[in-house]
Structure 1
C-alpha cells in the first residue's frame, strides 16, 4: 500500500508532539504494516482549529489522493481539530478509496464502529481546543487588566519594555512616536488636511506605523510611506488615551468605564477636540475638495450675485463663469436676466493673489483654534448602561446568588451609583467650549508659498476675500481689471454672507467679538 504521512504542529516549540516524534511514529507504523511511504507533508506553526482544511501540507495530500492508499497521522487531533473538518477529510478520502490510520490510537477506520469512535475522539479534540482557547483568552484578559503586554501588534506611540513591577513585559510611551502623534494632532486641529500631513511625513525619515523600526513582533512593512488611511486609523485609536483594547473594543472596568492602565499620549480634552474635527471632515457637506479651484467661493457675479465656477474653454484654457442663468432655468424654467459672464482663470487668479499678498503678505497669521468644552455625557451613558447590565445579571441571569453574592452585588451597585452621581456633578460644572488665538509664527506670504491650492483658497476665505465680477465691455482688453471689485476683512465677510443668502447679522456679531485689528 502507498502511504502518505501527515505531520502538524501549532508551535514548533511544543516538545511532546514534535515533528520528529510524529514522523518517527508514523514511519514505524508504515514499516510494521509493510506500507511504502511515497509522501511526507508537514504543517508547522499552523493551527488546525483556526485554519480548518486551509493548510498547505494537508491540501497537497488531498489534491493527490488518487496516488495514495492510506494517510497516516500521529493522532486524530493532528489531522483535524473539529468534528466537521475530520468528517470532511474522511468523506474525501473514502470517495477515493483511501484509508486513514492513526499511529498512536488503536482504531480501525475501515469499519463503521471504528469511524464512529474516531468521530467521538474528534469531538473531544475539538472540546479540548475550545477549552484551551478560552483558557488562553481568559489569561490574556487578566494580564491586560494588570497592565501587562500579551503580544501582538504594538500600538503606534508605545514600545515594549520590561515590567518594572515584576515578571513579563508592559507597554510604555515611545517618546519619538508620541512626539509625532502630538505633532499630527496639532496640525489636524490647525485645519491642515490629512493629505498634506501624510505627504509631508513621507518626505521625512519618520517611520510610519508599519515600518520595521517601530514594531517588535509580527509581520510588518518596511515602508516609510504615510497615507491618509494610516492617519485616520492612528487618530481614531482610543489606545492613545491609554485604554486597553481587546477584539477591537475597550476592556471595561467594573464601573462600566474603559480600563486605562498605561500612560496616555493624549489628554481627554485634546482627544475630544480631535474627534470633533475628524467628524466634521467626515461630514459630506463639510468636506474640502482637494485640488479645488483657487477662487471657488471668492468670485461672484455682479449681475445675479451667484458664485462663479471653473470650466475648460474651447482652446483648453480654464475660465471662471457665472452659472446663475443655468440655475434660474432649472428652478423656474426661464432664462433670467444674467447672461453668464466669464473671466480667464489664470490671469484672474494672479490679479487676486497679487492684491491679497500686497495687503496681507507681511502680516502674521494667527489661527483661531476651537477649544472643546468638557462633556461627560458619554461617560454618564456608560455608567448608566453598566448599572442596567448589573441589574440584569442579578435579576434576569440569576447571578450574585447567596448572602455573599448579594453583598458583592450591593457593593458594585453602590460603587456605580457613586460614580454616576460624580459624573453628573462634573457635567453640571463642565468647562464650556470656546476659541483661542494661536500664533503660527509665519506671515501670510510664507504660508501662501507653502500651501497647496486648497490651502491657499483657505487663506483667501479666512481673510474674507470677496470679488464681484462686472459684465465685460465690448472690445475691452483680455483681462479688464476694472471689472473686479475686490474686498477683504469684515466688508468681504458681510458681502459673501449676503450673496449666499445667509444673513449679515451673525457675521457682524462674530466680527465684533473676534476681530482685534489683525487678520486671523
Structure 2
C-alpha cells in the first residue's frame, strides 16, 4: 500500500543532491521513505501502526521530510526475499529520497544476503539506511559492519522461529490436530470436541466418492474413463476452490487420471498423518494413525496392487490396443500375430517369416493371416458363452496379524524395570516402590493383552470377495484394453491355422481357442516362459474365475 505525504509536502520529489560519502545520515532536511513490513499480525507482533509511528518519530527528531510510506502486510521476508511489492516500489524510486527508515533490521530483510544486497543497491544511489529502534549509523564502515552482524542474528532468529513452528506443527499433528494447509480429499475441518483447535473428520460425500472410485478400479475400469465420468457428474475435484481455501486452487472441476493416481496412492486414506510428503512414524517405526481411516488395510493393499500392476511396464494396459494382441498365435510357427490394415480392414498376420529372414534361418512359415473383426467376434462369443454368467470376484490378500515383536518388546521392558530396581538401586523409598509397582502392573497387563491377541490373531490368506457383477456385465462396460485383460485373466489362447478355402466368411475351422490352465500353458510355451510357474498362477486364477 502506498501512503502519500502530508499536505505540507511537495507534490513532486525534487532532484536530490548526492550526499558526499562519510556524511552522517543525521543531517537535517533529508527526504525519507518509510518501510513497514509484517508477516502476520498477532498480539505479540509489532503492528504496522506502531512501526510507522516509531519511524515518523525518528524523522521528526532528526528533521527529515517523509516523502513516501510503503507497506508489505502479510508478506514474509524469509520466503519472499527481496520480491516484496512495497520494497520493490521503494527501490524503484531511490532517486527521490535520501534515506530509508524502518523499524528494525529484521523488518527490512530476514537474511544476511538480502540485507547486503539492499545495502549495495542503496549505497550505489547514495541513499542511507536508518533503523528507528537500533542505534546504527550506516554511513560509516563500522556502522555497516555492525548492521551486518545484526542481520546475521536476525536470520538466525528467523531460522529458529521456523524450527519452533515446524516442531509445534508436528506435535499438533501427533495429537490429531489440524494445522492448516490443503485438506485431504475425503476429510473436512471441524472444531476439536476435546479442546482447542480443529481436527479432521471424514466427509461422508467425498468418502462415498472415494469408495466408488476404488471399487471401479478394482473392477478393472480405466482411470481415464473414471475421470471422465467424475467430470461429467460435476463433482468438485480435490484441488477445486470450493473445497480448498489455501494453497494451489483451481476453478475447474475437471478430473484427470493423474488426479486419481495421486488421490488413490495417498496413505492419508488409511488415517495416516503426512508431513513433507512422508508419513509421520511412531517410535516403533509404524506410521502414526490418529484420524478415522477411509479405507481398511485389505482394500488399500488390493488397490495398490492393482495400481502397481497398471504401472508395471510389462503389464501396463495399452489404450487402443488390439483385442487379441498377445493372445492369438500362428499354428505353423507359434509366433505371435500382429495387426495391420488392408483395404480399410484390420487383419492379424504372423511375422515368423520376417523373423526367420532377419535371423538368417530356414523359412518354415509363409505368413499366416486372418480377418480381425470376424475372429474377434468368434472369440468373444466363446468367452461369453463359457464365462459370461459367472460372477466376478476380487481376490483380497489378508496381511495377517503378528504381535510377537510387541510381546518381545514388552518382556524386555519388564526385564529392564526389574534391573532398574534390583540391580541399579532405583525406585527407592515408599513412593518409589509405589511407582515401581504401578509401572510393573501396567507392563504385565500389556503383556497379557498381547499374548491374548496373538492367540486369536488373524492368519494371512486370500479371500474371494464378490463384486456383484458378472463377466458379461463387466465385458459390456469395458473398453478394448479392459476386455483384453478379461481374456488374459481367463487364460485365452488362440491358434490360427493355414487357410483351406477362400471366401468372405470366416473359416472357424482354422481357429483353435483355449481357456483356463490349458490356454495359459500353451501361451507360456509359445512365448518361451516358465510353464511350471504359469501352472501355479493359472490355478489361482481358476479360483478367481469360478
| TM-score normalized by the length of structure 2 | 0.77
Structure 1 CA distance, aligned partners of 2:144 and 2:78?
A: 21
Shift of the alpha carbon at 1:257? Answer: 2.7
1:157 partnered with 2:183: no
User: Of 117, 120, 131, which aligns to 1:102?
Assistant: 131
Distance change in 2, residues 1:361/1:511 (3 Å): closer
CA contact (8 A) 1:7 1:19 kept: yes
What residue number does 1:471 align with? Answer: 498
CA contact (8 A) 1:321 1:342 kept: yes
User: Of 461, 466, 487, which aligns to 1:460?
Assistant: 487
CA contact (8 A) 1:467 1:487 kept: yes
Structure 2 CA distance, aligned partners of 1:274 and 1:519?
A: 19
User: Of 336, 358, 363, which aligns to 1:336?
Assistant: 363
RMSD in angstroms over aligned alpha carbons?
3.9
The secondary structure found in structure 2 opposite 1:285 is coil
What residue number does 2:395 align with? Answer: 369
Distance change in 2, residues 1:368/1:245 (3 Å): closer
The secondary structure found in structure 2 opposite 1:300 is strand
Structure 1 CA distance, aligned partners of 2:518 and 2:169?
A: 63
**Residues 215-256 of structure 1 deviation map (CA, whole Å, 9 limit, x = unaligned):** 354452233222222222222222222222222232233333
**Residues 346-365 of structure 1 deviation map (CA, whole Å, 9 limit, x = unaligned):** 444344334544x2585143
What residue number does 2:7 align with? Answer: none
Structure 1 CA distance, aligned partners of 2:401 and 2:53?
A: 66
The secondary structure found in structure 2 opposite 1:214 is coil
What residue number does 1:433 align with? Answer: 461
The secondary structure found in structure 2 opposite 1:240 is helix
- Higher mean alpha-carbon deviation, 252-261 vs 505-514, is at 505-514
**Greater gyration radius:** 2
Distance change in 2, residues 1:348/1:266 (3 Å): same
Shift of the alpha carbon at 1:115? Answer: 0.9
Structure 1 CA distance, aligned partners of 2:53 and 2:357?
A: 87
What residue number does 1:499 align with? Answer: 526
User: Of 233, 242, 252, which aligns to 1:223?
Assistant: 252
* Equivalence map 1:82-161=2 (5 Å): 82-161=111-190
The secondary structure found in structure 2 opposite 1:122 is helix
What residue number does 2:289 align with? Answer: 260
Distance change in 2, residues 1:463/1:21 (3 Å): same
1:46 partnered with 2:75: yes
Structure 2 CA distance, aligned partners of 1:519 and 1:162?
A: 48
Structure 2 CA distance, aligned partners of 1:20 and 1:319?
A: 80
**Residues 312-371 of structure 1 deviation map (CA, whole Å, 9 limit, x = unaligned):** 44x5543322122233344x32252112222333444344334544x2585143234242
Structure 1 CA distance, aligned partners of 2:454 and 2:331?
A: 53
What residue number does 1:451 align with? Answer: 478
Structure 1 CA distance, aligned partners of 2:455 and 2:51?
A: 64
What residue number does 2:276 align with? Answer: 247
User: Of 196, 200, 203, which aligns to 1:174?
Assistant: 203
CA contact (8 A) 2:516 2:542 kept: no
CA contact (8 A) 1:374 1:427 kept: no
CA contact (8 A) 1:109 1:115 kept: yes
Shift of the alpha carbon at 1:455? Answer: 1.1
What residue number does 2:352 align with? Answer: 324
CA contact (8 A) 1:329 1:336 kept: yes
Distance change in 2, residues 1:336/1:374 (3 Å): farther
The secondary structure found in structure 1 opposite 2:338 is strand
Distance change in 2, residues 1:59/1:325 (3 Å): farther
CA contact (8 A) 1:273 1:372 kept: no
The secondary structure found in structure 1 opposite 2:353 is helix
Structure 1 CA distance, aligned partners of 2:238 and 2:220?
A: 22
**Residues 436-481 of structure 1 deviation map (CA, whole Å, 9 limit, x = unaligned):** 152433451x322211111121233334333222233575437544
**Residues 118-151 of structure 1 deviation map (CA, whole Å, 9 limit, x = unaligned):** 1222123223222322222222222222222121
1:486 partnered with 2:516: no
Structure 1 CA distance, aligned partners of 2:241 and 2:269?
A: 20
